[in-house]
Chain A
Amino acid sequence: DADVTQTPRNRITKTGKRIMLECSQTKGHDRMYWYRQDPGLGLRLIYYSFDVKDINKGEISDGYSVSRQAQAKFSLSLESAIPNQTALYFCATSDPQVSYEQYFGPGTRLTVT
């Protein structure tokens, strides 16, 4: 089974709709991250969390919110989706006590029409 899972894998939604992307991990890592990937722009950090009570904005947090429900779960919400939020979204985890490597989920392809 995958260590980092994301649901849904693909989603098409309409402008103005609220949508939640979910991430779960079984790696036992405290640190979790949300990125978006756009062609030609690489991956950009949206939010990150070092533990359940620690949430931080990343480079491009406007229009997004997050919830860290438990150590293993980190959700990303788009309160009112807009077309320029169409992108590939990745969740990642890390444990700096072991390695600074980030472990990525399979990604969610989100299309806002």
Chain B
Amino acid sequence: AQTVTQSQPEMSVQEAETVTLSCTYDTSESDYYLFWYKQPPSRQMILVIRQEAYKQQNATENRFSVNFQKAAKSFSLKISDSQLGDAAMYFCAFLPWNTGNQFYFGTGTSLTVIP
């Protein structure tokens, strides 16, 4: 069975500062994808960043980057220069390569950005 754990239900960060959201997962699969989705108050799910497990290089998208540690089964999201618009619920998600049919989501981290 696959599980995704986000141990921080709530986080806060000062505007312009950096924050890291943690995610760990448990799987016996060797090939998979990992994702971070953002859900603002509008409730729309928005892809923030993706990482293929076979890639050693950590993914980056502008102010968003990940620290992917395959051996430790850890996939944290770093948000640099935090902005008010970053305030949202963030979900970590895991997709095994072989089945490719079911995302496994964490329980989410609610991020508050303090002006």
Contact = CB atoms under 8 A, between A and B. Distances in A.
- Interface of chain A: mostly helix, strand, loop or mixed: strand
Contact of B44 (A45, A58, A106): A106
A90 interface: yes
B11 interface: no
A100 B95 contact: yes
A104 B44 contact: yes
Interface residues of A, number: 24
A101 B47 contact: yes
Contacts of B44: 104, 106-107
B107 A41 contact: yes
Contacts of B95: 100
Nearest to B103: A102
Contact of A90 (B6, B45, B108): B45
A56 B43 contact: no
Contacts of A44: 105
B85 interface: no
B100 interface: yes
Contacts of B47: 101
Given A43-B91, A88-B43, A101-B35, A96 B100 contact: yes
Nearest to A101: B47
B48 to A, nearest CB: 11
Interface of B: 4, 6, 9, 33, 35, 42-45, 47, 50, 91, 95, 100-103, 105-108
Given A31-B101, A106-B44, 12 more contacts: A33-B103, A40-B107, A43-B105, A45-B102, A48-B101, A59-B102, A88-B43, A92-B45, A100-B50, A104-B44, A106-B42, A106-B43
